[in-house]
Amino acid sequence: MPVEITWWGHATCTVEDANTRVLTDPLFARRLAHLRRRRGDVPPADARRADVVLVSHLHADHLHVPSLACLEPGTRLLVPRGARRAVPGLRRLRHLRITEVAPGDEVCAGGLLIRVVPALHDGRRLPLGPHRSPALGYVVEGEARTYFAGDTGLFDAMAEQVGPVDVALLPVGGWGPYLGEGHLDAGRAARALARLAPRAAVPVHYGTYWPIGMDAVRPHEFHAPGDEFVRLAAEAAPRVAVHRLGHGESVRLEVAR
């Protein structure tokens, strides 16, 4: 049975595997603070349907409480350890089944095993975030092993910590003209791909949101990362099939182990 990946924009993806539907870092807003959606429609109502939702860290463009409030009652939600303390709005989402997790945890959901892995990123709720929570990645194991990196920098033990994977959903950009520490740009993402050596990859976390009034400031950082990742990945990891999706597009991948 194939795994199907749909990219809705930013870090929001649907992974369908083993008759189970997984949603990552849901963000269903046209505008978030100083950011506005520049490309792609807001995901349709069907995108909000999931058996389990994965939140990688507490930044508001990844843990967006209004988007989580739109999820169907009974949806299982995995969030970083300490999230309910750091983000009081989570406590109001009583219609969801919330589980706090940390690297090394494993959670069964439908026909899937979800492994929680580390990420190199500041996981606090910004701007001040008095309580620290880890930034996370997840490996969704069913018919395929799909790695959702969340936000992360490149770190030495990445391949060891993540383990063997078939598909990698890797961030290749951001939402502003400069990427700080703890992020992958197209070049670092290509290097990560070479270390992970999956069969297929999908670039995410680029080309969706951009600060209001900054259209002319380094616009290539908004438009170029997807194509640049495709080019650099062909050099660094030529055996990996890279699928650059448009917003709302899907790819079905046959995985034979």
What are the pLDDT digits (tens) for 166-179?
A: 999 999 999 988 88
Q: Quote the pLDDT of residue 112.
A: 97
DSSP letter for each residue of 23-82: EES----SEETTEEE-SSPPPPGGGG--SEEE---SSTTTS-HHHHHTSPTT-EEEEETT
Angle between helices 225-236 and 186-196 (to 10 degrees): 40
> Among 18-27, 88-97, 122-131, 138-147, which is the least confidently predicted range?
122-131
Q: Quote the pLDDT of residue 202.
A: 98
Q: Quote the pLDDT of residue 129.
A: 56
Q: Is 254 helix (H, G, I), strand (E, B) or coil?
A: coil
Beta strands in the chain (DSSP E): 3-9, 12-17, 20-24, 31-32, 35-37, 52-54, 76-80, 97-101, 106-109, 112-118, 136-141, 145-148, 167-171, 200-204, 209-211, 241-242, 249-253
Kindly state the average pLDDT of the residues 85-93. 93
What are the pLDDT digits (tens) for 20-77?
A: 999 999 999 999 999 999 999 999 999 999 999 999 999 999 999 999 999 999 999 9
Contact between 15 and 148 under an 8 Å Cβ cutoff? The reply is yes
Q: Is 107 helix (H, G, I), strand (E, B) or coil?
A: strand
pLDDT higher than 70, residue 127: no
Distances (CA, A) of 140 to 145, 147, 212, 247: 6, 6, 35, 22
Cis peptide before 127 (omega within 30 of 0): yes
Kindly state the average pLDDT of the residues 122-126. 79
| Residue 127: CB atoms within 10 Å | 6
**Where do we find the tokens 């951001």?**
174
CA angle 148, 222, 188 (to 5 degrees): 50
Q: Quote the pLDDT of residue 178.
A: 82
Residues 6 or more apart in contact with residue 149 via CB below 8 angstroms: 56, 119, 137, 168, 169, 170, 171, 184, 192
Amino acid at 61: D
The pLDDT-based confidence of 219 (bands split at 50, 70, 90) is confident
What is the average pLDDT value for the chain, to the nearest integer? 94
Q: Which two tokens stand for residue 255?
A: 């995985």
Q: Quote the pLDDT of residue 14.
A: 98
Starting from the edge strand earliest in sequence, which strands make up the sheet with 20-24, in order? 97-101, 76-80, 52-54, 20-24, 12-17, 3-9, 249-253
